[in-house]
């Protein structure tokens, strides 16, 4: 009984209902017993599915916690790297050392250029404009609920399963 899938339970139920309809709505004692059995099977299988879903959700929570822990470790290490590089740069500049070289390591400076801009002062001809247009779903939902017809939008009802 436990190896039967929800699909099979559903199929058996629909076949049974179709047989009942075809017999004019008369339910035999055997059909009544099968209906109860099918419902019990679904409840047992559903309960099993629910426990699996809860376990997987718990696993996901643990994975999220581990991701957060690892991100914090990475952030800490990146801060340490930045601080060490800053300290090394300051020391090399202080002693006017441009390169430190060993058989397995080379530390030196490379030149780079960046443009620093004060956005309030720069002329508008040197600026670009970006515009993002996105539907305001909150306003659209409210308008649809108030009976407005909006081309390209509809209010769709969903049934979301909840396992606690």
Q: pTM of the prediction? A: 0.59
Report pLDDT digits (tens) over 19-33: 888 888 888 888 888
Report pLDDT digits (tens) over 57-89: 999 999 999 999 999 999 999 999 999 999 999
**Distance in angstroms (rounded) separating the CA atoms of residues 88 and 80:** 12
**Contact present, 55 and 48 (Cβ < 8 Å):** no
What Cα–Cα distance (Å) separates residue 25 from each residue in 10, 12, 40? 19, 17, 22
Instruction: Extract the residue ranges of the chain whose pLDDT is less than 50.
Output: 1
DSSP code of 82?
Answer: H
């Amino acid at each position: 009984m436990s190896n039967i899938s929800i699909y099979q339970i559903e199929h058996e139920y629909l076949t049974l209902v179709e047989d009942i309809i075809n017999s004019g709505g008369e339910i035999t004692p055997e059909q009544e017993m099968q209906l109860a059995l099918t419902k019990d099977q679904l409840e047992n299988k559903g309960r099993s599915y629910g426990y699996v879903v809860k376990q997987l959700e718990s696993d996901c929570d643990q994975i999220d916690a581990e991701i957060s822990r690892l991100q914090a470790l990475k952030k800490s290490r990146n801060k340490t790297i930045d601080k060490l590089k800053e300290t090394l740069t300051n020391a090399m500049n202080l002693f006017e050392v441009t390169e430190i070289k060993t058989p397995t390591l080379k530390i030196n400076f490379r030149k780079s250029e960046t443009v620093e801009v004060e956005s309030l002062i720069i002329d508008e001809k040197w600026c670009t404009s970006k515009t993002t247009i996105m539907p305001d779903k909150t306003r659209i939902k409210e308008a649809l609920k108030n009976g407005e017809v909006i081309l390209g939008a509809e209010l769709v009802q969903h049934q979301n399963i909840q396992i606690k």
